[in-house]
Amino acid sequence: MIVLGASLLANSAETIIGVFYREETILHPEKFALIIAIISILSKFIVFRYTKKESRVLKSSGLRAKAYDHGNDVFTSLAVLIGICAAMFLDNRWAILEPVAAALVSIIIIYTGIKLLIPAFEELLEKSLPREVEDQIHALLLEEKKILNYHRLRTVASAVAMPSKSISGYTAISPFARRMT
């Protein structure tokens, strides 16, 4: 995502520089391009909402990243729509709005990529669960009659959730928990 955003920013900057310093012109788009841009915005928005909802249900950072990728596609398509409308309905000098909007979108894409990269690295590096979740696990361990004692609870964030609040069905909590047999 970050590389894509940087590439889009570089292309937009090249177009803007070409228009201002080399007196290049931006071509007028056809009405078909306008229709495609509108369809793209609507379809990507629907896919973004669905994927984002499912990523919350599944607690999946990978799916969340994909959802935000779809969201960035919506912004990119909006930039294209602005550029198409400017080039079609305004004077030729307003056609510069498309690469300017694309540059702004590329900054949003870079920001989103960085925002998604940090939690993904934390998950890959096996960051511990939040303190409140560890406190809940401590409470469950204390409630369980078959566990005599435990120490040094270590947790790892994962997309898999425990099926119930009882831990009695699990064969081993950790090498540091002793079970009555």
User: Would the pLDDT of 31 be above 70?
Assistant: yes
Residue 165 has pLDDT above 70, yes or no: no
Q: Can you give the pLDDT at residue 83?
A: 79
What pTM did the predictor assign?
0.56
pLDDT 10s digits, 127-160: 777 788 888 888 888 888 787 777 777 777 665 4
The C-alpha atoms of residue 139 and residue 133 are separated, in whole angstroms, by: 10
Q: How far, in Å, CA of 13 to CA of 179, rounded?
A: 64
Let me know if 109 is exposed, middle or buried by CB neighbors in 10 A (0-12, 13-18, 19+).
Answer: buried
pLDDT value of position 158: 60
C-beta of residue 123 within 8 angstroms of C-beta of residue 43: no
Give the integer Cα–Cα distance in Å for 79 and 84: 9
